[in-house]
Structure 1
Amino acid sequence: MAGLTAAAPVGQPQMLTVVLEGLRSHKGQILVCVTRSADHFPDCTKDPDKRHFAVPVKNGPIPLGTVAPGDYAIAIVHDENGNGKLDTFMGIPREGVGFSRNPVLRFGAPSFGSASFSVAGAPVEQAIRLKYFL
């Protein structure tokens, strides 16, 4: 059958990509945090197994490399002023934020469980909708 591709074995690392939805500008950079640890979500800077990096703002898929099978969560910050951190005003983000699986954002960041997804047997693409509060 043409067009069908075989899934990779479940135990092999898989490609992980994100697509950002709702960007309000192409200024600055995108801060990405990928973690398998609920204890290090959404700020995974102290997670020894994290993927924490900055990428240019762009349309289309952003490759995050390959990851081992397991449960992950992604936190995204649209760092519009390029200072390498999420700016807030009275605890409210001044820049865009988004999370894998697009959980409802109320007061504070979502739980790891509400943002987590599984990687096993096939490449994963997460469409993350950015939310701007101010």
Structure 2
Amino acid sequence: MIKVLRVSLLLTVMGLAWPFSAKASSNSNLSVEIDGFRNQKGQVCISLFASSQGFPNNRDRVIQRQCNKISESSVKVSFGNLKAGNYAVAVFHDENNDLKLNRNDLGMPTEGFGFSRNPEVTTSAPKFNDAAFLIAGPNTNIQIKLKYF
């Protein structure tokens, strides 16, 4: 143990010490592939969250958001310039282009929806931690399968 400390001290003094923690990229990219569309009407809207505050539907807490036309059975969306950390994605199939997830009288979604990590959804939306994933390198890829009730 003492020998290791001496070598470490010597290397530090000589300017040869390696950093003990790797610097995480602050320029990471996220690629999200969404599939399971029941039709190609409208658009798909994807919201990226960096914390539990506001997840999954508070637009004021979204760090990046995109809505893209659906032209194939799956859609790929990219987000760039992300810092390392935990994120979660919420997606919905905006079939009527009104920029909101429509619901019936009981509050159940009438349009498709999905979340990162594809958590089981029964009576309410998942918590941030159930959908969270780590971005730590230059490129992260996730897949989301839409659900319809």
- TM-score (norm: length of structure 1): 0.86
Q: Does 1:69 align with 2:84?
A: yes
In the TM superposition, what is the alpha-carbon distance from 1:12 to its structure 2 partner?
A: 2.8
Q: CA–CA distance in 1 between the matches of 2:134 and 2:33?
A: 17
Stretches of structure 1 that go unaligned for 5 or more consecutive residues are 1-8
4+ residue segments displaced more than 3 Å: none
Q: CA–CA distance in 1 between the matches of 2:82 and 2:138?
A: 11
Greater helix percent: which structure?
A: 2
Give 3-state SS (helix, strand or coil) of 1:118's partner: strand
Structure number with higher relative contact order (C-alpha < 8 Å, ≥ 6 residues apart): 1
Greater Rg by CA: 2
Q: Does 1:50 align with 2:63?
A: yes
Q: Does 1:79 align with 2:94?
A: yes
- TM-score (norm: length of structure 2): 0.77
In the TM superposition, what whole-angstrom CA distance separates every residue of 1:75-129 from its partner, at most 9, and x where no partner exists? 0010011111000002100000000000000111000000000001231111001
Stretches of structure 2 that go unaligned for 5 or more consecutive residues are 1-22
In the TM superposition, what is the alpha-carbon distance from 1:60 to its structure 2 partner?
A: 4.4
Q: In the alignment, residue 23 of structure 1 is paired with which amino acid?
A: F
What's 2:124 paired with? 108
* Same amino acid, percent of matched pairs: 35
In the alignment, is the contact (CA less than 8 A) between 2:35 and 2:75 conserved in 1? no
In the alignment, is the contact (CA less than 8 A) between 2:109 and 2:148 conserved in 1? yes
RMSD: 1.5
Q: CA–CA distance in 2 between the matches of 1:88 and 1:95?
A: 7
